[in-house]
């Protein structure tokens, strides 16, 4: 592996990942909206402040269709350079380097004062190129976890964790496993603010899990279907089923 090409892949990936489509779309369609301070209020009177600048906050602050467009653009900014490097250097892991760098740029973007998202869209954009089978496998792993535990908040972590053994099974490549480990570490670091908020709300006696379940599923492209599926498999002893958001 050539060190200079690897360095170029890291720089290009980070700079492309740093393009904050959420901030750009908000500036065009909702000038004056601060995505880094998005308040979500629920019927119980609970307020959740979302500090990340991403497709998720754009969905809440402006509109869900705009958030979905942003998510697609975020996927593309990782998928396109990953594909380019995979085609140019098929025998070298440069495409894995640029994929990881794009997620880092998305989460801590140079062009938006290092205020970004949590990396799911660019991660899955690159996974489509690296090994497309990882996408349905991770989704099914996450869905199974949510059905069994009713924990949507940690379901996304399960999705990324499942990529580690799956890529090893598919490729038997240490480079692919290191890539999978890297995206998990990046995600956990980026989620530190949410984890702290989760713990504080739980200490205050607020059922934060129900709030996070609703907030996350409300902005997923197929969130309503996931909620219906979870409700179908809910335990008979459950006191409160997951309900769809009122719009």
Cα–Cα distances in Å, from 79 out to 37, 137, 161, 182?
29, 18, 20, 17
pLDDT tens string 133-148: 999 999 899 888 877 8
Q: What is the 3-state secondary structure (H, E, C) of 16-72?
A: HHCCCHHHHHHHHHCCCCCHHHEEEECCCCCEEEECCCCHHHHHHHCCHHHHHHHHH
pLDDT for position 228: 59
Collect the ranges in the chain with pLDDT lower than 50.
43, 214, 221, 237-247
pLDDT for position 243: 37
In the DSSP assignment, the letter for residue 235 is -
Based on its alpha-carbon atoms, the radius of gyration of the chain, rounded to whole angstroms, reads 18
pLDDT for position 238: 44
Largest CA distance in the chain: 59
pLDDT tens string 162-188: 999 999 999 999 999 999 999 999 999
pLDDT for position 149: 78
pTM here? 0.82
């Amino acid at each position: 592996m050539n060190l200079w090409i690897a360095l170029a892949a890291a720089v290009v990936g980070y700079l492309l990942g740093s393009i904050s489509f959420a901030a750009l779309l908000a500036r065009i369609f909702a000038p004056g909206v601060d995505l880094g301070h998005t308040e979500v209020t629920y019927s119980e009177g609970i307020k959740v402040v979302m500090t990340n600048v991403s497709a998720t906050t754009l969905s809440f602050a402006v509109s869900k269709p705009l958030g979905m467009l942003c998510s697609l653009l975020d996927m593309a900014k990782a998928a396109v350079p990953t594909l380019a490097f995979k085609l140019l250097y098929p025998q070298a892991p440069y495409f894995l380097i640029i994929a990881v760098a794009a997620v880092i740029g998305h989460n801590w973007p140079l062009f938006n004062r290092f205020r970004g998202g949590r990396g799911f869209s660019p991660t899955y954009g690159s996974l489509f190129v690296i090994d497309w089978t990882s996408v349905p496998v991770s989704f099914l792993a996450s869905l199974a976890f949510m059905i069994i535990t009713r924990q949507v908040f940690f379901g996304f972590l399960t999705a990324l964790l499942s990529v580690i053994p799956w890529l090893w099974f598919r490729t038997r490549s240490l480079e692919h496993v290191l890539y999978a480990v890297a995206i998990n570490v990046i995600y956990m670091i980026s989620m530190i603010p949410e984890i702290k908020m989760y713990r504080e709300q739980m200490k205050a006696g607020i059922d934060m899990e129900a709030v996070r379940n609703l907030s996350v599923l409300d902005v997923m492209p197929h969130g309503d279907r996931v909620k219906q599926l979870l409700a179908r498999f809910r335990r008979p002893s459950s006191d409160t089923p997951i309900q769809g958001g009122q719009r």
